[in-house]
Amino acid sequence: MNVMQQIVDGVSVSSSLLLVALGLAITFGIMKIINLAHGELIMVGAYTTYAVNTVAKLPFFVAVIAAFVVTAIVGALMERFVLRSLYGRPMETLLATFGISIMLQQIVRILFGATNKAVISPISGTLTLGNIVIPYLRLFIIVFSILMLLLTAYILFRTKFGMLVRTVSQNRSMSDCLGINTSRIDLLTFSFGAGITGVAGAIVATLRNVSPTMGIEYMIDSFLAVVLGGVGSLVGTAIGSVIIGEASQLLTFVGGEIGARIIIFVLVIIVIRFRPEGIIKLESR
Amino acid sequence: MKQLWKNHTVSLLLLLYLALTPMFSNAFGVELTGKFIVLMIFAIALDLVWGYAGLLSLGHAVFFGLGGYMLALSYSLQKGVPSFMARFQITEIPLFMKPLTSIPMAFVLGLVLPSVIAFVIGYFIFKSKVSGVYFSLITLALAKLFEMIAINNQAYTGGFNGLMGLPRFPIGGKPMELDSYYYLVLAIAVVVYLFAHWLMNSRFGKIVKSIRENEPRIAFLGYNVAHYKIFVFVISGFISGLAGMLYVPMNGFFSPNEIGLALSTMIVVYVAIGGRGTIIGPAIGAFLINLLQNELSEQYPAFWQLLLGLIIVLVVLFFPKGIYGTLQEKLGAWLAQFRLRREGK
Amino acid sequence: MRKTTIRLFVILLVSALVLVGCGNKNSGSSSGEDGIKVGILLSSSGPTALIEAGMIKTAMMAIEEINENGGVKGKKLIPIQEDYAGDPSMAATKAKKLVMEDKVTAVLGTFTSASRQAVLPIIEQNNSLLIFPNLYEGEEYSENVIYTGPIPNQGLEKFIPWLVENKGKRFFFIGSDYVFPIVMNNQAKALLEMHGGEVVGEEYVPFGHMEFASLINKIKEADPDIVFSTVVAESESAFFKQFHDYGITADDILIASPIPTENDLAAMGPEAGKGHVVIQAYFQSVDTPENKKFVENYHKKYGNEPVNTQMEAAYYSIYLLAAALEKAEDITDTKQIIDAFAGQEFQAPSGKIKVDEENHHTHLNYYVGVGNLDGQFDIIDKYDPVRPEPWSKLLYPDHEEPWKK
Amino acid sequence: MNILETKGLSVEFSGFKALTDLDFSLEEGELRVILGPNGAGKTTLMDLITGKTAPTAGTIHFKNMNITGMDTFRISRLGIGRKFQGPHLFDNMTVEENLEVAFQGYHSLRKSLFFRKTKELKERMEEILTMIQLQDKTSHYAINLSHGEKQWLEMGMLLAQDPELIILDEPTTGMTAEETHKTGQLIENLFKGRSIIVIEHDMAFVRQVARKVTVLHQGKLLAEGMLEEIENDKRVQEVYLKEDSHA
């Protein structure tokens, strides 16, 4: 069995997982919003890509941008009309977002019909190194996800906006006193997180078909990755994704595809139990 | 008597309606309502954990499912090795499933196993610093996990297809009439309701509530919070398992859907919409949503999904206490004013 | 705030109740007139709607055509449609409604084996009639069910030898991890053995699995001539897509499958399915006058979506039912209707088909097709109706035949 | 005889020394006021005594029993009651319920399940309700009480809990002058004979109740003695001047 290949594939799996989880690292990790509609944001991104790329025949990168814009708008609407009034009430947030997820699924079903849709992979061909084969598509996804990670990190830690975001998440009332328009920051932060998630949707759409219910699995995996890595830390999310991604590949030796997933779930549950703060702990008092 | 009426108006009205159903509705209607009642019991079970102790479990179907599977499996084992086993060259019932060949034993297991699992999970989680949303996330993962396990071990669980063709109501040997089974379920529902009511108005219930209200404080009053959480979780698991078992004959069929995410989240919705922390509220939520779904999903399938989502969002935004909770509040306030005016004169 | 709250609350309840109210009216009116009620129990919402929605359309189309030509015994067929959102328990509930409340003459529907078997006891207890128009694993027989879809032995009997002869002997079996694919693969393996092929690997993935890197990796390791895939639903398109991404073409390793339809090609993107071989009882590209008419009418009615085998099955199932009703003396007696099905023939779009004289399953034509870039299948081989064996003679040579009793 | 004694008590939060090598002792029946600017380690000390946080070094003895690092609920059962800074009630429960859960001696599951209000309990309840002047608000939800009432309800809960050592963390924050005074009296009459530790800023209040005073500064013991001595203590003054200057 070609272990090297498995590890490489693991990297690509991790990278798409990282991509999907990145948005959640912001909405859940930083804003502490339990967004059960995270998967549906991915789905919206995927459908936007389908509409722009497959139907309207525009180039793929345009579709990616469109996916960002559309989901960012959806996110903004969610924040403005629902989440805003629920801050500090995680359980209510969780319920509301579940309601939203049902609605989004149905809306998409009405707009695009029930049948599954396809987004054509923008890149074909494979790279062969010795006995390892990597599709250029997956190579692209790896690079892209790393870029997205860096971009997000840059925005959060090197820009005024990012600084504001972190200030607000640290101490809301204080920020209010400092004259920061917190509600505006919340709006922007959430729709930014949503937008990234939409981009992730555009990317994963190239690996699979596009369907109204495609989001659920991604939603769960993203939460696992974020929590495993350490809530509120981008590095943590990256690490979480890599662990889960690699595990899901390498553990197939042990229990096959299904066994691998079961083992991962058990592992993550145990980690949450003993380190709720995740593998990467933010030092704070 | 008057007191009883005053405190339980809604519950009594609902009970009256349910008790009369078999008289004015056909077999289909009765079975449907029976199914609703089972879900009401399940909703009450979740309410104990979420509504009172403030622990939002997103994986409660695990207990419902365990209970159901015990009975469903037992039924399928009655005629020797079932086809779903035979298909995997299993020629005789494996040792660890032997106990299930006896239906009474299955009943016992259907109550014990969920409780035990609930205890293990509870002990595992509540003896740690895990709390709030992390508890919810763990239970979410658990629901997914059990779903996968049920699907994965198809040689023993019937896998993705589930267990079907289950005899209808063979409670104790020979089949039971639909109506009599319906009333049995209803009776159990009443008992569960009364039990939950007693439990949550006992000192225990008050302590559980104060855990929800202010966990650190109750510890400073000398209570071992973990024990209380575990206990209420186990009770809830037990009732969920019971509901799961009652569901099997009503449905004639049991599948991984009943142990996984889908049901777990739906039951949370029932409780939230009905009004958590009120015992009867969640039951009403379960009843109304299912009634609506059954009426609307056929005429407007697409529309129904939208409406359900919308209802959830609106309730969360405008009736955080749920339908019953809000009614209770408004009525209470109104009555108070009314009395004041009376006294004023 | 409080005011708005109350108002909202009222609006919510009222709207809900109103809907319930007119909901009832609708169902009332449909059962009013004198005619033959046919239940259509298929999902128009939920995960499986993507296929079942199409079946509803063709079934309705057939009913309209029949009614336009004077109906059955001068009576019109009255469809009563129920959506169960792909949930077996709800399927059971809705079946109860159709049978107990609407008292339909027959029910066409259910899609997965889970939903069929959830419905089965209700149909049997009420001695009603279910027409199941979909591919399934077989190994079942019910007095009250007519199975109009294909079962494993039919396609595989022709497909496996064809593959061994034309494409190669080394097979790698993959499938979604539940009964249907496993039964399929077991029969295929038996046939393969009989025709001197060899199994170089076998893997199953969880239902809804989306990440196939490691499986493709394993396949490349084993280097088979043919991947025999019974991976279903969304996993299927994910597999074909990623297989394609890894630069493996049909010429390197061929995917052979009894599953994909025109819809799946659309969902995976045609170039992912290009060159891979599929056996089905119907393709849109089938060249018969009946099919030309069928496809034309469909596209006129519902626009240019592809038509597939399940949709054709739903269509001819209605016609078979109509024929049986025509033949039966007393259509209030389910037994008579069921007996009338025996040996019933129909010139379907896919060619002449026939319900078996005894085993309640259906003799179907088979086509070997190759996926092309238009999202259609180029038919490269055809087989005349094949006898259905609910219990494959090959696997269970001496299995008792319940219909014999 | 000392009811409470700490030796070399220290605690660190990720490098930050919240409390260093503190020796503190309290006599039975004594009322001790603890003063100190913000971050002096007052609340930290209380957290350590009640088991909310575990010390990095040192020991705590209560009634000559080592309670270092014990679970909160165990310590509480030994007879240490605590009132937090600001109201800390069970908001969506009635005044009566709040008091009821506070009563001691019914901690086990079994006892809590099959609990009947004894005559004594009922009387005690009445007594407390009158003392804290909430007798006609028994069925009000705690969340609807006025700030002062909330504070007194907490006092009531302490009475119900009936501990030997009572810890009051800034009991008068947010109270009007006369509410504060009233609270002072309340403390003096209600808790007669019990050992009490009070953390307080409000000097008026301190003068009203205090006898012996302990002053903490930057996690260390700065001064200890009778109020007058402390008030004239140079070091204390400058600490407090600093405090005021940037307050």
Find the CB nearest B223 among D91, D100, D107: D107
Nearest to A241 by CA among A256, A229, A252: A229
Residue D14 in contact with partner chain A when CB distance is under 8 A: yes
Give the per-residue pLDDT at C1. Answer: 44
Task: Quote the number of domains for chain D.
Answer: 1
Q: Within an 8 Å CB–CB cutoff, is residue A103 touching chain B?
A: yes
Instruction: Give the model's confidence band at D193: pLDDT under 50 very low, under 70 low, under 90 confident, else very high.
Output: confident
Q: Is residue A251 included in any domain, yes or no?
A: no
Q: How far is C390 from chain B (nearest CA, A)?
A: 14
Question: Which one-letter amino acid corresponds to residue B227?
Answer: H
| Minimum Cα–Cα distance from A258: chain B residue | B152
Q: What single DSSP character describes residue A283?
A: P
D52, D103, D109, D168: best to mutate for the B interface, most B CBs within 10 A: D109
Which residues of chain B from 316 to 335 reach within 8 Å of chain C, CB to CB? 318-319, 323, 326, 330
Rounded CA-CA distance B216/D85 in Å is 13
Please determine, for residue D127, whether its predicted confidence score (pLDDT) is greater than 60.
yes
What is the percent of chain B with per-residue pLDDT over 70, rounded to a whole number? 94
The pair phi, psi for residue C39, each rounded to 5°, is -80, 135
DSSP of B290-318, one letter per residue?
Answer: HHHHHHHHHH-HHHHHHHHHHHHHHHHHH
Residues of D in contact with B227 (CB under 8 A): 109
Please say whether the dihedral angle defined by the alpha carbons of residues D187, D188, D190 and D191, taken in this order, is positive or negative: positive
Chain A interface test: which of B313, B314, B317, B319 (most A C-beta within 10 Å): B313
Residues of A in contact with B313 (CB under 8 A): 82, 96, 99-100, 103
Angle formed at CA C68 by CA C64 and CA C74, multiple of 5 degrees = 110
Residue C29 has pLDDT above 80, yes or no: no
State how far residue B26 is from chain D, nearest Cα, in angstroms.
43
Q: Is the dihedral of CA C126, C132, C137, C140 positive or negative?
A: positive
Of B217, B223, B231, the CB nearest to D88: B217
Share of residues in chain C with pLDDT > 70 (%): 92
- Residues of B in Cβ contact (< 8 Å) with D71: 224
Which chain A residue has the Cα nearest residue B51? Answer: A91
Mutate to test the interface with A, among B130, B316, B318, B319 (most CBs of A within 10 A): B316
Q: Is A283 on the interface with D (CB under 8 A)?
A: yes
Burial of A4 (0-12, 13-18, 19+ CB in 10 A): exposed
Residue B345 has pLDDT above 60, yes or no: no
Q: How far apart are CA B237 and CA B120, in angstroms?
A: 11
- pLDDT tens, B244-273? 999 998 888 898 989 999 899 999 999 999
Q: Is the Cα dihedral A19, A21, A27, A31 positive or negative?
A: negative
- Quick one: DSSP state of residue C76? P
- Domain at D37, CATH number: 3.40.50.300
Mean pLDDT, chain D, rounded, equals 84
Query: Residue C27: what pLDDT?
Result: 41
In this structure, whether the domain defined by C153-280 belongs to CATH 3.40.50.2300 is answered with yes
Mean pLDDT in residue range D178-184: 81
Residues 57-86 of D with CB under 8 A from A: none
C12-26 mean pLDDT: 50
Residue A50's closest CA among A253, A277, A206?
A206
pLDDT, residue C32, reads 46
Check residues A276 and D45 and name the one with the higher pLDDT: D45
Residues in chain D with CB shorter than 8 Å from the CB of A283 are 14
Average pLDDT over every residue of D105-113: 76
Whether residue D236 is contained in a domain is answered as yes
Residue in chain D closest to A282 (alpha carbons) equals D14
Highest mean pLDDT among A165-179, B301-315, C57-71: C57-71
Does A115 reach chain D within 8 Å, measured CB to CB?
Answer: no
Q: What is the DSSP letter of A33?
A: -
Range in A26-40, A130-144, B86-100, D171-185 the model is least confident about:
D171-185
CB neighbour list of residue C190: distance below 8 Å, 6 or more residues apart: C392, C394, C395
At C135, is the pLDDT very low, low, confident or very high (cuts 50, 70, 90)? very high
Contacts of B305 in chain C (CB under 8 A): 45
Average pLDDT over residues C307-330: 95
Q: Is B164 on the interface with C (CB under 8 A)?
A: yes
Contact C179 B87 (CB under 8 A): yes
**Chain B, window 247-266: residues with a beta carbon less than 8 angstroms from a chain A beta carbon:** 261, 265
What's the pLDDT tens digit per position in C148-171?
999 999 999 999 999 999 999 999
Report the pLDDT value the prediction gives residue C226, as an integer from 0 to 100: 96
Cα of B155 to nearest chain A Cα, Å: 15
Give the residue on A whose Cα is nearest the Cα of C43: A114
Name the more confident of D193 and C33: D193
Asked if the C-beta of A20 comes within 8 angstroms of chain B's C-beta atoms, the answer is no
Q: In total, how many domains does chain A have? A: 1
CB under 8 Å to B206, separation ≥6 — which residues?
D93, D97, D100, D101
pLDDT at B174 over 80: no
- Say if the Cβ atoms of C16 and B307 lie within 8 Å: yes
Residues 6+ apart with CB under 8 A from C148: C131, C132, C133, C313, C316, C317, C320, C355, C362
pLDDT grade for D152, boundaries at 50, 70 and 90: confident
Using DSSP, state whether A58 is helix, strand or coil. coil
pLDDT surpasses 80 at D143: yes
Is residue A197 within 8 Å of residue A20, measured between CB atoms? yes
Where do we find the tokens 């403030």? Answer: B54
- How many Cβ contacts (< 8 angstroms) between chains A and B? 104
In this structure, are residues A282 and A230 in contact, taking their beta carbons and an 8 Å threshold?
yes
Q: What is the mean pLDDT of chain B?
A: 88
Nearest CA in chain B to A87: B317
Facing residue for B317 by CB, picked from A85, A91, A258: A85
Instruction: Measure the N-to-C terminal CA separation of chain D; round to a whole number of Å.
Output: 39
| pLDDT reading at C6 higher than 60 | no
Domain residue ranges in chain B:
2-344
Are the Cβ atoms of B306 and A272 closer than 8 angstroms? no
Residues of chain B numbered 143-202 and touching chain A (CB < 8 Å): 144-145, 148-149, 152
The reply to whether A158 falls in a domain is yes
Chains with 3 or more CB pairs closer than 8 angstroms to B? A, C, D
Q: Given this model, what pLDDT does residue D151 score?
A: 82
Q: Considering the domain boundaries, does residue D217 fall inside one? A: yes
Count of residues for chain B? 345
Q: Chains D vs C: touching, with 3+ CB pairs under 8 Å?
A: no
Q: Which domain holds residue D19?
A: 2-88+157-245
Q: Determine, yes or no, domain membership for A273.
A: no
The domain defined by C33-150+282-364 folds into Rossmann fold (3.40.50)
pLDDT at B318 over 70: yes
Where do the structural domains in chain C lie, given as residue ranges?
Answer: 33-150+282-364, 153-280
State the pLDDT at residue A61: 94
- Predicted pLDDT of residue B344: 61
Closest chain D CA to residue A283: D14
Higher pLDDT among residues B201 and C46, named by residue: B201
Question: What is the value of ipTM here, to two decimals?
Answer: 0.87
Instruction: State residue B3's pLDDT score.
Output: 65
Least confident of A90-99, B161-170, C268-277, D17-26: B161-170
Residues of chain A with pLDDT under 70: 1, 281-285
Region of residue D133 (phi > 0: left; psi between -120 and 50: alpha; otherwise: beta): left
Q: C170-207: per-residue pLDDT in tens?
A: 999 999 988 899 999 999 999 999 999 999 999 988 88
Per-residue pLDDT at B198: 93
For C138-148, the pLDDT digits (tens) are: 989 999 999 99
Residue D226 has pLDDT above 90, yes or no: no
Is pLDDT at B232 greater than 60 in this prediction?
A: yes
Q: Which of C51, C111, C202, C217 to mutate to test the interface with A (most CBs of A within 10 A)?
A: C217
